[in-house]
Structure 1
Amino acid sequence: MTFESIEDVEKKFGGEGYIADRTLATTIYLAVALGKPIFLEGEPGVGKTEVAKVMASILGTELIRLQCYEGLDANTALYEWNYPRQMLELRLEEARGLDKEEIGQNIFGPEFLLERPLLKAIQYEGDKPPVLLIDEVDRSDEEFEAFLLEVLSDFQITIPEIGTVGASQVPFVVLTSNRTRELHDALKRRCLYLWIDYPTFEKEMDIVESRVPKIEAELSGQICGFMQLMRTRDFYKKPGVAETIDWALALMSMQTKDLEASAVDATLGCILKYKEDIEKVQEDGLAQIIEKAHMLRQRVTKQQG
């Protein structure tokens, strides 16, 4: 489970349609080489979750995802007992005429255990370690954060009815956070940390042309210029790279060759998700924003030339 070099990371991620810059590629390379989790923080939609998905694809292994939310507890993340199956087993034992002392002696064995993401990653028996994605960890409570720190320390847990279960192979772990709250330093110290920002104009064009192969460079440049301008505004939620790709695909399906106010107005829902944000853009004048996007595209092209 290694990469030959940082350049190898960039190449393989690029082959999966993910444009990894040098800093991200270095972080991934070191995380794999040192066996440390990666902690990716940034605004929603900048590609944090996608890193884990691409890693699983490159390594040819399973992606195990734990989606965090407020109220998530250790039991939900680890395991649950298969209550219906346990009840069925009790009835079968009664039907077989077992003594009362014998009934229910075996209903807390491994076969009655329902694995949840963390236990599934720890007990994974595939040829290659899985990729464990702990997504939006900032949405969980501090109590769960403390529990997670313990799990990441030694990758073993204790099930009272069974005993201690340890990982035969340590999974590759990716934690993501939208920074809705600050996480404890102890958790971050366990990981290699990286802040993923919105991409530059040039990088966003590379991403769009990688994910939307048939798009014309002119339209791609106009889209990326428009999105760069959108992120300078005081929106309730700024659009991420995911919205850029969705918008490019939508415009392509409409056979749009050039950004026009009518096409942008009809598809604003692809990039802005709040009524107030859409109204703000419409009030500012779409034609003016599109013109600025054209100018940004031309300026960058001139600088590159």
Structure 2
Amino acid sequence: MTVIDKDPASAIADIQKRFEAAGYICDRHIATSIYLSNKLDKPILVEGPPGVGKTELAKATAELMDADLIRLQCYEGLDESKALYEWKYGKQLLYTQILKEKLGDILEDATGLGESMDKLHRFGDQFFSDQFLEARPLLQALQSEKQTVLLIDEIDKSDHEFEAYLLEILSDYQITIPEIGTVRAKKKPIVFLTSNNSREMGDALKRRCLHLYIPFPDQDREREIIRARVPELDDRLRNQIVSFVQQLRTQDLKKLPAVSETIDWARTLLLLHADTLDIEMVRNTLNLLLKFEDDIENMDREVPKMVTVAIKESR
């Protein structure tokens, strides 16, 4: 998404409108972060509870930019061979076997061990060139000829060591490969890092990024999101759904229902041809909102009261 050169307020408002037109309800805070990231060439570290739209923000940005989305899903134990690059060892071995008979030709005019070793080293260097390099997501983003959006998803699930691998690409948009040298971005990617706050990010990584926190939306914002994602839903039922979910988030639960789960529940009630909330239907579909059996059991006795409040607020 190219930010047109205009005054910042107009540019930010334009970003917000374009996201909303694409179905991603983007408040001014988010739009401002996108604007600054574009102008400052800085990655964005997006933090917040699971399911509030952090990953969707990167996807929506890629769609609006008509850019390739390159996604790196983080997990414990992730290392550079899965994130940056690795060598095609099988191909190297195959070529070694095929070219073994050529070694005699290469060394036949060598005089002495030293000259033979020099020739072998030059021969071996061919096996650590671009044609034997397997690019992983981070390197793919740097090598791409067109604009890309690089999504480093759930960075908090990775190890502290992996953060160190990211610092060079986050600050200079480049990667150093010992056998080849430094690979610089052909076109700087738009970089999003998402975190569910399962651990604290290191200061070095935070310094290189703009910080954006996306909380659970308020009632008005969540209604806008449901309207954009499930437009077929009746206004009254939409209001009831959002009211019920907002009440759930005030409870002492192991996992609060995310926006993505509100959307799933709205689609489910639409599929069931519901026109208003009723106690039995809510109980039968509560597992779409709550993911722990203890939470479902504890909320069962609260459902009648919460449904009554939701219906009353929708009038």
- TM-score when normalising by structure 1: 0.91
Give distance in 2, aligned partners of 1:269 and 1:91.
Answer: 58
Structure 1 residue aligned with 2:136, among 78, 95, 116? 116
Alignment map for 1:120-135 (pairs within 5 Å): 120-126=140-146, 129-135=147-153
Alignment map for 1:144-293 (pairs within 5 Å): 144-282=162-300, 284-293=301-310
What's the CA shift for 1:172?
A: 0.6
- Return the letter of the residue paired with 2:3: F
Q: Which residue of 2 aligns with 1:55?
A: 61
Decide whether the 8 Å contact of 1:39 with 1:188 is kept in 2.
yes
Q: Which residue of 2 aligns with 1:301?
A: none
Change (3 A) 1:168 1:269: same
- Return the letter of the residue paired with 1:287: P
Structure 1 residue aligned with 2:40, among 27, 34, 40? 34
Cα deviation 1:129-186 (Å, max 9, x = unaligned): 2111111111111111122123211122221222221112211111111111111223
Q: Which residue of 2 aligns with 1:302?
A: none
What's the CA shift for 1:222?
A: 0.6
Decide whether the 8 Å contact of 2:154 with 2:194 is kept in 1.
yes
Which secondary structure state, in structure 2, belongs to the residue aligned with residue 193 of structure 1? Answer: strand
Q: Which residue of 1 aligns with 2:22?
A: 16
Gap regions ≥5 residues in structure 2 = 5-10, 105-119
Decide whether the 8 Å contact of 1:31 with 1:38 is kept in 2.
yes
- TM-score when normalising by structure 2: 0.88
Give distance in 1, aligned partners of 2:125 and 2:168.
Answer: 31
Structure 2 residue aligned with 1:107, among 105, 127, 145? 127
Please, which moves more after superposition, 131-140 or 179-188?
A: 179-188
Give distance in 2, aligned partners of 1:266 and 1:13.
Answer: 34
Count of residues in Structure 1 that have an aligned counterpart in Structure 2: 293
Q: CA RMSD in A?
A: 1.6
Larger gyration radius, structure 1 or structure 2: 2
Which secondary structure state, in structure 2, belongs to the residue aligned with residue 165 of structure 1? Answer: strand
Decide whether the 8 Å contact of 1:93 with 1:103 is kept in 2.
no
Give distance in 2, aligned partners of 1:81 and 1:247.
Answer: 46
What's the CA shift for 1:99?
A: 1.2
Which secondary structure state, in structure 1, belongs to the residue aligned with residue 45 of structure 2? Answer: strand
Gap regions ≥5 residues in structure 1 = 299-305
Give distance in 1, aligned partners of 2:268 and 2:187.
Answer: 43
Q: Which residue of 2 aligns with 1:98?
A: 102
Aligned pair 1:294/2:311, yes or no?
A: yes
Give distance in 2, aligned partners of 1:171 and 1:105.
Answer: 30
Give distance in 2, aligned partners of 1:185 and 1:252.
Answer: 46
Which secondary structure state, in structure 2, belongs to the residue aligned with residue 262 of structure 1? Answer: helix
Alignment map for 1:65-76 (pairs within 5 Å): 65-76=71-82
Give distance in 1, aligned partners of 2:159 and 2:125.
Answer: 36
Please, which moves more after superposition, 105-114 or 189-198?
A: 105-114
Give distance in 1, aligned partners of 2:164 and 2:177.
Answer: 18
Decide whether the 8 Å contact of 1:46 with 1:240 is kept in 2.
yes
